[in-house]
Structure 1
Amino acid sequence: MTALERLAATIEARRTADPDISWTAKLLAKGPEKCAEKFGEEAIEAIIEAVKGDRERLISEAADTLFHLLVMLAARDLTLADVERELTRREGVSGIAEKASRDD
């Protein structure tokens, strides 16, 4: 099991924890919108560190971003496995071709 898989399992286990003692449970209790907001904040912090060029801070913010991405997915009853299936579906497809195939 990878670190991301372990983290995803921990997030799922904390779904029913007491929000007074679990940050994850507290986020999930606030709903998908708050989880999405927190993910956005962390993503922006990672972008700032990428621009600054501080490797250690970027690693830290990237970890925070991945955590909050998984929480946001859990808030919408999606899993890391769901995302992995989509990545597998895209394997071997050019990024340009994949983007052109979307209905965006």
Structure 2
Amino acid sequence: MSDTGTLDRLEAIIVQRRGADPEASYVARLNAKGIGKISQKLGEEAVETVIAALSEDNEALVGEAADLLFHLLVLLGARGVPFASVLEELDRREGISGIEEKASRIS
């Protein structure tokens, strides 16, 4: 797995700002609005990432991908799920065919 230092630092900042004044912190403002609003914002960022990918503008794609990762970390934090858990799941899936892994989740 690649170095996750940047995302680890961002996760720590998000944890710190979650309890800040919503008037002064975007993270606090999102959290004050609840999981529904955070989830909606993540969905919006996902759509914007897809649009940027289809536009073939790499600079826009990089910016939207950064927004998407940021909002994913905000959502994970709001649910109390550490980013390390996501990395552990990716490690678990390493070497497993995506087709096989998806089939194992179908009940």
Return the TM-score normalized by structure 1. 0.95
Match for residue 90 of structure 2 among 81, 87, 91: 87
Q: Quick one: which amino acid aligns to residue 39 of structure 2?
A: A
Percent identity of the aligned residues? Answer: 55
Q: Which residue of structure 2 aligns with residue 31 of structure 1?
A: 34
Q: Quick one: which amino acid aligns to residue 46 of structure 2?
A: A
> Higher mean Cα deviation, 74-83 or 32-41?
74-83
- 1:89 and 1:52 mapped to 2: Cα distance? 34
Alpha-carbon distance, 1:103 to partner: 3.1
- 2:76 and 2:37 mapped to 1: Cα distance? 12
* Count of residues in Structure 1 that have an aligned counterpart in Structure 2: 104
Unaligned runs of 5+ in 1: none
Q: Quick one: which amino acid aligns to residue 31 of structure 1?
A: G
- 1:82 and 1:28 mapped to 2: Cα distance? 21
- 1:7 and 1:34 mapped to 2: Cα distance? 20
Runs of 4+ in 1 over 2 A off after TM superposition: none
Q: Quick one: which amino acid aligns to residue 71 of structure 1?
A: V
- TM alignment of 1:16-55, pairs within 5 A: 16-55=19-58
Q: Quick one: which amino acid aligns to residue 58 of structure 1?
A: L
Q: CA RMSD in A?
A: 1.1
